[in-house]
Amino acid sequence: MEILHGHISPETAYLVKDYPYGYTLRCQIRYWLEFKPGHGVRLVSQTSNPKRGHVWNKPKASTYSRFGGCMYLNEDDHVTWSGLSEYSDGAEAKAWSDRYRDGCPPAALPGLDAWMRAKLAYDATRAAKPVEADKDLTVGLTEAFQAMADTNAKIE
């Protein structure tokens, strides 16, 4: 696996020069990560149109991942991506950050750090108080809010 860095716009996109277009034609495809405050990170791809002189077609975008995204080449040298959403627990968020942080757009890193610390604090508090945690879902929220405040980052 090779993490791809710095591909955050059509101008800085990762370009694949030989990509299938239909059954017989070949085109180019470019990939980048888009960050939008309040939404998160998503993968965007765009092919060229060999029938029209390699004009770029309309971009295609995936669903946003709220707290981070990383584009990488898999073992077959195909572009793929991984995202971190609000449905992860603290251990999953930490593991994702350890593995993919280098490929995450810089603008998304403050939100990633705040989310990861909050989830870890929440999970640790709930594990330390299992009886109360079973009865009350608010157990751990104070610690999570404090961890988020300590990062001096606002999750947008």
Q: Does residue 77 form part of some domain?
A: yes
Split at pLDDT 50, 70, 90, the class of 134 is: low
Task: Write down the pLDDT at residue 135.
Answer: 65
The model scores a pTM over 0.85: no
Q: Does residue 155 form part of some domain?
A: no
Q: Does residue 156 form part of some domain?
A: no
Q: How many domains does the chain have?
A: 1
Task: Write down the pLDDT at residue 88.
Answer: 85
**Per-residue pLDDT tens over the stretch 49-87:** 988 887 999 999 999 999 999 999 999 999 999 999 888
Q: Does residue 30 form part of some domain?
A: yes
Identity (one letter) of the amino acid at 112?
L
Task: Write down the pLDDT at residue 156.
Answer: 45
> What is the rounded CA–CA span in Å between residue 43 and residue 45?
7
Domain that holds residue 14: 2-150
Q: Is 106 exposed, middle or buried (0-12, 13-18, 19+ CB in 10 A)?
A: exposed
